[in-house]
Structure 1
Amino acid sequence: MNFFRTEPAGVIAPEDALPGRDTPIQISGKHFVNGSSMVAPFPEQMETIIVGMGCFWGAERLFWEVPGVFTTAAGYSGGTTPHPTYSETCTSRTGHTEAVLVVFDPDVVDLETLFKVFWENHDPTQYMGQGNDLGSQYRTAIYGTTEAQMAAAQASLENYQMKLTATGFGKITTEIAEAGEFYYAEEEHQQYLAKNPYGYCNHGFCQVAYS
Structure 2
Amino acid sequence: MGFGRRELRMPGREEAPVGRGALAYEVPERHVVLRTGLLGPYPEGYGVAEFALGCFWGAERRYWQVLAGVWTTVVGFQGGFTPFPVDDEVRTGMTGHAETVRVVYDPARVSYEDLLVLFWEAHDPTQGFRQGNDVGTHVRSLIFVRDGAQRDAAEGSLAVYQKCLTEAGYGEITTEILAAEEYPFYPASALHQQYLAHNPGGYCGLGGTGVLYRA
- The TM-score, its normalising length taken from structure 1, stands at 0.94
Contact 1:8 / 1:136 at 8 angstroms: preserved in 2?
Answer: no
Please name the residue that 1:202 is paired with. Answer: 205
Which runs of 5 or more residues in structure 1 are unaligned? Answer: 1-5
**Pair 1:17-2:16 in alignment:** yes
Q: Distance in 2 between matches of 1:7 and 1:89?
A: 12
Answer yes or no: is the 8 Å Cα contact 1:18–1:94 preserved in 2: yes
Q: Report the CA distance shift for 1:206/1:139 in structure 2 as closer, same or farther (over 3 A).
A: same
Pairwise CA distance, 1:10: 2.6
Cα separation, 2, equivalents of 1:106 and 1:181: 23
Deviations 1:64-97 (A, max 9, x none): 1211111000100011111111111111011100
Partner of 1:63: 63
Q: How many residues align?
A: 206
Question: Please, which of 184, 188, 197 is the counterpart of residue 185 of structure 1?
Answer: 188
Q: Is the 8 A contact 2:134 2:205 kept in 1?
A: no
2:53 & 2:33 partners in 1: Cα distance? Answer: 21
Query: How many angstroms apart in 1 are the aligned matches of 2:187 and 2:213?
Result: 29
Runs (4 or more) in structure 1 with deviation over 3 Å come to none
Q: Percent of aligned positions with the same letter in both sequences?
A: 45
Aligned residues: CA RMSD: 1.4
Alignment CA distance shift 1:204-1:166 (3 Å): same
- Please list, as runs of the form range in 1=range in 2, the aligned pairs for 1:36-115 lying within 5 A after superposition: 36-65=36-65, 66-115=67-116
| Residue-by-residue CA offset, 1:103-126 (whole Å, 9 max, x unaligned) | 111111012211111111111000
Measure, in 1, the Cα distance between the counterparts of 2:41 and 2:203. Answer: 31
Q: Which residue of 1 aligns with 2:28?
A: 28
Within 1, Cα distance between the matches of 2:134 and 2:40? 31
- Structure 1 match to 2:119: 118
**Secondary structure of the corresponding residue to residue 44 of structure 1:** coil
CA distance in 1, matches of 2:164, 2:7: 26
- What is the letter of the counterpart of residue 21 of structure 1? R
- Equivalent residue letter for 1:192: Y
